Amino acid sequence: MRAMQVTELGKPLSLRDIPHPSAGAGQVVVKVHTCGLNFGDLLAIKGTYQERPDVPFTLGMELCGTVTEVGQGVTRFTAGQRIAAYCGFDALADFAAISADICVPIPDVMSDEDAAAFLIAYGTSHVALDYKAHLRAGERLLVLGASGGVGLTAVELGKLMGAEVIAVARGAQKLEVAKAAGADHLIDSETDDIRDCVKALGGADVVYDPIGGDQFKAALRACRPEARLIPLGFASGEVPQIPANHLLVKNLTVIGFYWGGYTRVNPKVLTDSFEVLTDWYVAGKIKPHVSHVLPLEQANEALDLLRTRKATGKVVVRVA
């Protein structure tokens, strides 16, 4: 079968022919339809992601597909069932053998493209804002990187949860995407002073930050007393160092958050979140924004869209 693999760290993926997987105990084999790309994929290629498999490995963190084989002990799924899964790796291939525990059934009304764009982006934002930050209606939510895969869902969900949403993105075109997702206020990170703009609006109660670097520092200084800050990625390339005295003076809380870690620590957090998100999707309250869909053979070009920040929302690879 075909697979797009990392054969050398820091180099483009290679399209290779690898053995077809079989289902082990507790696993299912999935015929992959679509794979949603994430910033973590770029880190995995460089060898700087939290998890570092041995080379060669197949890239791709989330997928939508159809179950073709069920392993021993699996009772939740049957052959022919459509599922979505956060698998960490192996999604950029014709078939993947994955743990049944990380699979979720998807409604018939959800397209393959939407399903591949759904789990990580919406799951990250929902668990971060609801379970971790306890965002309340009427609070002011500051979203950095608001036009990206996770940032855009934070804007959409924040508005749905009743917050006043401030979106920070680069350039007028990306800000328009954030506005369409429900942002109340727009800040251009290329030309505007984030700290001054947020303070002029009254400060932030919750900061959602997949960017890090100078934007985190500006957001920290624009927080209201008792604000909560959620650093969940460092797309800027800089991990900010947090001055403890600033936290003390304003009674601020910085909340560490890695969505994928809950697959091992407390998967019920993710499955409960997905049930809520699926209900919202079926009710028409949320809709993934997919800016590009490319075939498996063009996975390197798809990754370049993320790397060069030319995409908005999600980039999806169509496998079958």
Q: Burial, 300: exposed, middle or buried (Cβ in 10 Å; 0-12, 13-18, 19+)?
A: middle
pLDDT of residue 80: 97
Please check whether residue 277 lies inside any domain of the structure: no
Please check whether residue 266 lies inside any domain of the structure: no
Helix (H, G, I), strand (E, B) or coil at 109: coil
Q: How many domains does the chain have?
A: 2
Please check whether residue 61 lies inside any domain of the structure: yes
The set of residues, in sequence order, having a beta carbon less than 8 Å from that of 191 and lying 6+ positions away, is: none
Asked whether residue 238 carries a pLDDT value surpassing 90, the answer given is no
Q: Which residue reads 């797009």 in tokens?
A: 4
Give percent of the chain above pLDDT 90. Answer: 85
**Residue 15 CB coordination number (10 Å):** 13
Q: How far is residue 62's CA from residue 277's CA, in Å, rounded to a whole number?
A: 16
Please check whether residue 267 lies inside any domain of the structure: no
Say yes or no: 129 and 225 in one domain: yes
Say yes or no: 62 and 183 in one domain: no
Say yes or no: 45 and 17 in one domain: yes
Say yes or no: 106 and 144 in one domain: no
Q: Cα 205 to chain center, whole Å?
A: 22
Please list the residues that pair with 140 across neighbouring strands. Answer: 164
DSSP result, 207-249: EEESS-HHHHHHHHHTEEEEEEEEE---TTS--PPPPHHHHHH
Smallest CA-to-CA distance from 86 within 56, 136, 53, 123 is with 123
Query: Over the range 172-211, which residues count as b (16 or more CB within 10 Å of their CB) and which as e?
Result: eebbebbbebbbbbbbbbeeeebbebbbebebbbbbbbbb
Say yes or no: 298 and 205 in one domain: no
Please list the residues that pair with 35 across neighbouring strands. Answer: 63, 317
Supply the range of the domain harboring residue 91.
2-118+288-318
Say yes or no: 63 and 140 in one domain: no
Please check whether residue 282 lies inside any domain of the structure: no
The CATH number linked to 246 is 3.90.180.10
Say yes or no: 89 and 107 in one domain: yes
Say yes or no: 48 and 143 in one domain: no
Say yes or no: 100 and 142 in one domain: no
Asked whether residue 217 carries a pLDDT value surpassing 90, the answer given is yes
pLDDT of residue 51: 85
Please check whether residue 137 lies inside any domain of the structure: yes
Asked whether residue 50 carries a pLDDT value surpassing 90, the answer given is no
Q: Please give the radius of gyration of the chain, using alpha carbons only, rounded to the nearest integer.
A: 19
Asked whether residue 122 carries a pLDDT value surpassing 90, the answer given is yes
Please check whether residue 280 lies inside any domain of the structure: no
Q: How far is residue 15's CA from residue 93's CA, in Å, rounded to a whole number?
A: 9
Strand (E) or helix (H) holding 292: strand 290-295
pLDDT of residue 167: 98
Say yes or no: 131 and 252 in one domain: yes
Say yes or no: 74 and 169 in one domain: no
Please check whether residue 208 lies inside any domain of the structure: yes
pLDDT of residue 107: 94
Say yes or no: 303 and 227 in one domain: no
* pLDDT mean over 38-46: 94
Q: Cα 129 to chain center, whole Å?
A: 13
The pLDDT-based confidence of 191 (bands split at 50, 70, 90) is very high
Smallest CA-to-CA distance from 303 within 59, 69, 101 is with 59
